[in-house]
Amino acid sequence: MSVITIVFAVLFYVATAILLVFTAHKIWQYAKTPAPLKIPTTPAPTTRSGVVFRMIKELTIFESLFKSSKWTWLFGWMFHFGLLLVLLRHLRYFTDPVWGWVVFLQPFGKYAAFMMLAGLAGLWARRIFVDRVRYISAPSDHLMLLLLIAIGVTGALMTFVEHTDIVALKAFFLGLFVFNWSALPPDPILIVHLSLVILLMVIFPFSKLLHAPGVFFSPTRNQVDNPRERRHVADWATRLESTKTG
């Protein structure tokens, strides 16, 4: 067994653990932190099902962003939807046999890489050329785009230009699940691709990528507009209740 196989096997276990444990910790933190007042941005739905619909619109068509800036919306949506297709396509490397709908998505997932990269390029162009967006950008904001672009480019290179031994790669990942490791193909492009993915997994719970779980917990979007009908007292606020009369 090559050193590279052992290193990457260990790295994938560690990265997955970090991603899951720390992201779960963040989700737990968001869930347990009380939202002591009703603060939905109105007009807001007055029913739970209305809120679900509002959230689905935010998650699928980025409704608020669409209202806000058409270019950011376009590039952002291209990136996210492209990424979704690409990720779903990647399921074929982790499942055996490959699910039918993943097989169906294969051609879409392959070309979605270009949509994803075009979206990222557009977002980066905005970050560089729009003075307002440039002003609010920290180095990490640029590097995050660079990281995603590098992952996308190395992935697309393997899909369309310099194929790796995909059968061996799949054996490597399936082996990880059952702790029976098999050799990782030592192709340079693949090694770069996987290294960057590991880096992304590790920084996910410590970076702005937390917007992914965060969006589900945003009180301005996920609260029902019914404060006159229902009281909404947080635990820490109940101790203040004693001052009340009547």
Partner 1 sequence: MAAAEFETPKIREYPIIPRLQEGVMAHSKPYVAKPDFQEKLGYPGELVDNWKEVAIEKMGELTGKYRSLQVFLDSCVKCGACTDKCHYYLGTSDPKNMPVARQDLFRKVYRRYYTLSGKLFPKLVGAEDLTEEVLDDWYSYFHQCSQCRRCSVYCPYGIDTAEISMAAREVMDAVGKGQKYCNEIIGKVHVIGNNLGLPEPALADTLEGLEEDVEEETGVQVRFPLDEKGAEVLLVTPSADFFAEPHIDGLIGYAKVFHQAGISWTLSSYASEAANFGMFIGSYENMQKLALRIRQAALDLGVKRIVFGECGHAWRVAYSFLNTLAGPFDFLDPDYPVPQHICEVTHGLIEQGKLTLDPSQNDDMVLTYHDSCNVARASRMGDRPGGQFEIPREVIRSVCNHYVDMPSYSIGEGTYCCGGGGGLLTDDLIELRVKGALPRMEALKNVVDDYGVTHMAAMCAICKSQFSKVFPYYDFQMDQVVSVHQLVGNAIVLQPEEENRSEADQSEEAQDQAEAA
**Which residues are near partner 1 by CB under 8 A?**
26, 29-30, 33-39, 41-46, 50, 58, 62, 64-65, 67-69, 72, 76, 123, 126-127, 130-133, 135-141, 143, 203, 206-208, 210-211, 214-215, 217-221, 225, 227-234, 236-237, 240, 243-246
Residue 120: in which H helix or E strand, if any? helix 100-129
Closer of 74 and 168 to partner 1 (Cβ) = 74
Q: Which pair of tokens denotes residue 19?
A: 């991603």
Closer of 33 and 95 to partner 1 (Cβ) = 33
Find out whether 187 and 165 touch, Cβ atoms under 8 Å. Answer: yes
Closer of 103 and 143 to partner 1 (Cβ) = 143
Find out whether 39 and 223 touch, Cβ atoms under 8 Å. Answer: yes
Closest distance of CB 171 from partner 1, Å:
35
Closest distance of CB 199 from partner 1, Å:
13
Closer of 68 and 95 to partner 1 (Cβ) = 68
Find out whether 214 and 30 touch, Cβ atoms under 8 Å. Answer: yes
Closer of 36 and 188 to partner 1 (Cβ) = 36
Closest distance of CB 124 from partner 1, Å:
12
Closer of 34 and 188 to partner 1 (Cβ) = 34
Looking at residue 180, its amino acid is N
Looking at residue 161, its amino acid is V
Q: Which pair of tokens denotes residue 3?
A: 């050193």
Closest distance of CB 174 from partner 1, Å:
33
> CA 226, 42, 74, 144 torsion: positive or negative?
negative
Crossing angle of helices 3-32 and 166-177, in 10° steps, is 60
Cis peptide before 186 (omega within 30 of 0): no
Closest distance of CB 218 from partner 1, Å:
4
Closest distance of CB 119 from partner 1, Å:
12
Closer of 71 and 177 to partner 1 (Cβ) = 71
Q: Which pair of tokens denotes residue 84?
A: 């979704």
Residue for token pair 């935010």 = 58
Closest distance of CB 97 from partner 1, Å:
37
